[in-house]
Amino acid sequence: MKLAFFGLIIVSQLLAANAAAVENPMTDIATWRDATIVNPHNALAFFNLGVSNQKAKKWNAAIAAYNKVVELKSPLSPAANYYKALIYNEHGRADLAQKLIVSLSHENLPPNLKQLVLSLKHHIFAEPDIALVDPNLETETKKNRPPIEKKKVSGFIDLSAGNNSDPFADSSSPTIGGAPDTTEQVKAGADFLISAAADSEFRFDYNFSSNFYSKSTDANYFYHQLTAPFSYYFWAYRIKLTPIYQLDNYGGHVYSDSYGGSLDFAKHINNSYCGVNIQATAIKNKTTTDSYLSGGQNRFQVYFEFRTRVSRLMLTGALNQLSYEDTPALASSYISYPLTIAYTRYLRSAELTLSVGDEPKIYSKATPASVARSDNRVSFNIHAGYFFTRWYQLYADFTSIQNSSNFNSSAPANFNYYQNISVAGLIANF
């Protein structure tokens, strides 16, 4: 017990002094290497050798020294594992970093080390920085990369153009169909980190999206979305509560305001995640003729994500329910059960994603003159992206959709359509 307590004191002092302790990393490497030769059981010497190598950007040598600290079962092992996790996370090995951080979360750590572990845990829950993925970390890294910092303000701009074989394919009418048309899209977003603590963070996000067709102007749309997610972390879990406001415009004459929120609960298991997301939204639609439609949309979603250092597999299943009412005599609703499987392969400066989705959807309406039907939509998407730097990505998307509709009224009994959408664009991050 005395040795462990003394070790925790050493850990605290080392962490506090680490930034100023190594003035000349190369000189210190030689000093501490000699110390480990004189005494191969000197865990403190191996720890300082690891710190010196890390300062000199000799990542694999640092990891080897930290591994020796753990092998010697030193009280410095938690700090050694933390620094190993930093190296792994900064070089795209999130799977190894996650294992170390989750293990450390269950240990009795000094307060300053515990705070560092929880802060890194917050970052690991975020999406990986693809531009930093390095599948060759176990060999000497040829290119030194800067660490990922949590920015107070970040955002993106996405400009793209392409072709849609049938912009009106999603119409609720039995006469579905339209002519091919070119499309231009603009997307933008900003993320503001309001506050962050050891076990929580609060953000404010804004997203904008628009789509413009050359001929099918009634299919044009844009929306603004404001969210304020609050996340709380404990052990290997994350809870996120997000208020949502969204303003939509379709075809220049239909507007809708949506208010709601979502609750997300996720668990980290080794290098994978599983979670549940529940969302409820109230919708108020308004057209230029002052006709109002009110309703709501609810969603229950489960997801599973498995990551390696160079790939990610995502499975998502959901139950969606939408309903609206114009008058007591005219109401509409649908229930759908979407299922999506997506696989992403990360390369040093590129990514490739393949996804397949299936969504059965059942419509119903209250009036006999309205059309009730059931749909089944199968989609396939391929996405390829190339990163010039961490900040700029050139990408291409192709989506193919096959939809089968079965009408339950005097309208045509069955209707099938195919829709192909191809888009290329550029994303700039800041």
- What are the CA-CA distances from residue 65 to residues 53, 80, 112, 373 (Å)? 9, 9, 22, 66
> What does 242-271 look like in DSSP terms, one character per residue?
EEEEEEEEETTTEEEEEEEEEEEEEEEETT
Select the more confidently predicted residue: 142 or 324.
324
The answer, yes or no, to whether residue 135 has pLDDT greater than 80, is no
User: Given pLDDT bands bounded at 50, 70 and 90, which one contains residue 365?
Assistant: low
- Can you tell me the mean pLDDT for 97-124? 75
Read off φ and ψ for residue 16, nearest 5 degrees.
-70, -30
Mean pLDDT, residues 296-320 taken together: 89
Give residue 286's pLDDT.
Answer: 66
Give residue 412's pLDDT band: very low, low, confident or very high (50, 70, 90): low
Q: 210: closest CA among 190, 189, 186?
A: 186
Q: Is the pLDDT of residue 430 over 90?
A: no
User: Torsion angle of alpha carbons 18, 22, 28, 31, nearest 10°?
Assistant: -50
Q: Is the pLDDT of residue 111 over 50?
A: yes
H or E element, residue 123: helix 111-124
Q: What is the pLDDT averaged over residues 13-19?
A: 47
CA distance 157 to 271: 30
Whether 371 and 349 have beta carbons less than 8 Å apart is answered as no
Q: Are the C-beta atoms of residues 165 and 419 closer than 8 Å to each other?
A: yes
How many beta carbons lie within 10 A of that of residue 108, not counting itself? 8
Range with the lowest mean pLDDT among 163-167, 187-191, 301-305? Answer: 163-167
Predicted confidence band of residue 375 (pLDDT cuts 50, 70, 90):
confident
Please say whether the beta carbons of 250 and 221 come within 8 A: yes
Which band of pLDDT confidence, cut at 50, 70 and 90, is reported for residue 122?
low
Region of poorest pLDDT, from 79-88, 143-152, 342-351, 357-366: 143-152
pLDDT at 322: 82
- Residues 6 or more apart whose Cβ sits within 8 Å of residue 93: 134, 137, 309
What pLDDT band is residue 139 in, cutting at 50, 70 and 90?
very low
pLDDT interval class at 338 (50, 70, 90) = very high
pLDDT-based confidence at residue 108 (cuts at 50, 70, 90): confident
Per the model's pLDDT, the better-predicted residue between 16 and 158 turns out to be 158
Mean pLDDT, residues 138-146 taken together: 35
Q: Look at residue 252 in the predicted model and tell me its pLDDT.
A: 61
pLDDT over threshold 70, residue 8: no
Coil, helix or strand for 139?
Answer: coil
pLDDT at 301: 96
When mean pLDDT is compared across 234-238, 251-255, 372-376, the lowest value belongs to 251-255
Tell me which range, 37-41, 136-140, 299-303, is most confidently predicted by mean pLDDT.
299-303
The mean predicted confidence, pLDDT, of the chain is 76
d(CA 246, CA 248): 7
Beta-carbon count within 10 A of 57 CB: 13
Place of tokens 């044009």: 220
- The more confident residue out of 22 and 208 is 208
Q: Exposed, middle or buried: residue 190 (CB in 10 Å: 0-12, 13-18, 19+)?
A: middle
Q: Is 44 left (phi over 0), alpha (psi -120 to 50) or beta?
A: alpha
Residue 54 pLDDT class (50, 70, 90 cuts): confident
Cα gap 251→288, rounded to integer Å: 11
What's the whole-number mean pLDDT along residues 411-421?
72
Measure CA 347 to chain center. 18
Residue 285 gets which letter from DSSP?
A: E
Name the β-bridge partners of 70.
none
* Structural domains in the chain, sorted by start: 2-132 (1.25.40.10), 153-429 (2.40.160.60)
pLDDT value for 168: 62
Give whichever of 3-12, 119-128, 209-218, 405-414 has the largest mean pLDDT: 209-218
Cβ contacts of 68 within 8 Å, gap of 6 or more: 36, 43, 46
Residue 202's CB is within 10 A of a number of other CB atoms, namely: 15
Q: Residue 353's pLDDT is what?
A: 94
Partners of 233 in beta bridges: 238
* 252 vs 87, residue with greater confidence: 87
Which neighbouring-strand residues pair with 334?
322, 363
Tokens of 335: 């229930």
pLDDT at site 222:
81
DSSP 152-219: SEEEEEEEEEEEES-TTTT-SSSS-----EEEEEEEEEEEEEEEE-SSEEEEEEEEEEEEEESS-GGG
Helix (H, G, I), strand (E, B) or coil at 65: helix
**In the structure, what pLDDT confidence band is assigned to residue 4 with cuts at 50, 70 and 90?**
very low
- pLDDT tens per residue across span 384-400: 999 887 788 899 999 99
Share of the chain above pLDDT 90, in %: 22
Average pLDDT of span 268-289: 78
Query: E strands along 288-310, which residues?
Result: 292-307
